Structure formats: structure tokens, C-alpha cells
Amino acid sequence: MIPEIHIKGLEELAGGYWWHVHRRRMVVELARRYGGPAGEGYLDIGCGPGATTWRIAEDLSRAGLIKSSGQALGIDGDPRLEPYCRSHGIRFVRQDLEAGISGLPSERFSFFTALDVLEHLTRPDDILAQLKPYLAPGALGIVTVPAFQFLFSDWDTKLGHHRRYRIDSLSEVFESAGYEMVWASYLYSFVFPAACLRRKSGKVEASLEDSVVEFPKLPAWLNRILNGACSAERQALSMLGRLPFGTSVIAAARPRS
């Protein structure tokens, strides 16, 4: 289980921290672009304390893609997360994702997300396959994972990551689970050179303690600059379609019929 300070940290960061804002806006943009059966619910796999789940659900509701944010359901393995989720109006089901997905409500979901979750699982393809009976026809899934195995460090180990991904290796996971990946790109390209240099120099987060939130606190001015860089990256993606490198992979996929 993650430390309580980490849970509270994620709550605080979800609203304005550059990394989380960029990821959330990309998710909603992809949901609008590739759509799904309107009016069905939204499922967030590995929802954490629910702050990001709630914000995505609100954006999906405003876009007319789900009826209301109350249609959002979060699943995670830590029972301490339930009151946080319920405080955001997110329904919560406790599931040990390593043990598999089962016993969810009988409704069908038109959207699902697994945001920085699959890297924690031994068999992520099994989880995605088990999810299919709960999805409406034409449902869309949006996934993010850390990118490039050569960047794997003590930071990944301490956070419980089994691996990092390339687009092709993530595509293989979807294929094995019976999904078609309809779009993918790397993300956070502007910090990729610094990440490579840091890894090459050996200056990884070996001193990271279990009680430390994974994202460092930043002064407001630096957070604004990084938010601006994220906005520029989204504009670049709208023009180029995909980016060739970054510290994360983001992908959209549908179950094969």
C-alpha cells in the first residue's frame, strides 16, 4: 500500500500540477477525438484517491460523452482510497488488480482509463482482457505508461514498476488482450533529454524514501512554465500527429469485435 502522505500528495497535485494537467487534458482530447458510445459510464482502473477521475468525468460530462460525472466508477486495491473517492462523488470498488477484475456493477462503460497503472502489473494483458465484458460496444480505452526501458531506475523500483514501455511493446499488450490500438504517441518530450542525461550520469533517485511523494513540489512560476511547455506539446501533437520520444506513452484502444 502506498503511504498516506502519497495519497494526500496526489490529491493536492491533481488539480494544477503540470504533469497531471497535461495527462488529463490529453485523455479528454482523445476521448473527444475517437469517441465512444455516448451516455454510458466511465471506469478508471487504478483510480487512486479519485481527484483525477473526478476531473476527467466532469470534462467528459461537459463534452456530452457521459451523462454526468456520477457515472464514474473507480477501482483500486487500497481500501483507504474509498473515502477520498466518495468525497469527489466517485463510486469505488476495491479490486486487487494483480488478482484480476471481477464483480463490477452490471452497467456497461463507454470509456475507461488506466493511467500509469499497467507498469505495476505482472500480466497487464490479463486485466485488459478481463475488462472487456464490462465495456459497451465501441468503447474506448486510454492508457498511459512510463516510456523506454533504458530509463528504468531505482525510482521505478521504489514505485513498484515492473517495466517501462515503447509504443510497439504497449501495442503487443493490447493485441494479446484482444484490443486494437487506434492511436499512440510519446508524451513529455521536452523533459526527455534531461531524463536521458540524468539516467546516463547515474543520478537516479536512489535516496527516494517510501514516504516521499513521487512528484517534487515546484514554485508556482516554474509550474506555469512547464504548463506552457505542455500546451506547446499538445499543439505540436495536433500538427504532427505523434511525437517520436518522451518519458511516457499515451495510447487509445478499442476492444476487437
CATH 3.40.50.300 holds for 4-255: no
Domain boundaries, the chain: 4-255
Find the mean pLDDT for residues 229-247.
97
Whole-number mean pLDDT of the chain?
90
pLDDT at 213 over 80: no
Rounded to whole angstroms, the Cα distance separating 150 from 29 reads 29
pLDDT at 251: 99
Tens-place pLDDT, residues 143-199: 999 999 999 988 888 888 999 999 999 999 999 999 999 999 999 999 999 999 988
Rounded to whole angstroms, the Cα distance separating 145 from 117 reads 7
Which three three-digit cell numbers place residue 185? 504517441
DSSP state of 211: T
Kindly report whether the global pTM for this prediction surpasses the value 0.75: yes
Q: What are phi and psi of 193, to 5 degrees?
A: -60, -40
Chain centroid to CA 238: how far? 20
pLDDT at 9: 73
Within 8 A by CB and 6+ apart from 203, the residues are none
Tens-place pLDDT, residues 69-106: 678 999 999 999 999 999 999 999 999 999 999 889 88
pLDDT at 40: 81
Rounded to whole angstroms, the Cα distance separating 35 from 3 reads 36
Q: Which of 1-10, 24-33, 34-43 has the highest mean pLDDT?
A: 24-33
Rounded to whole angstroms, the Cα distance separating 201 from 87 reads 43
Rg of the chain, C-alpha, whole Å: 17
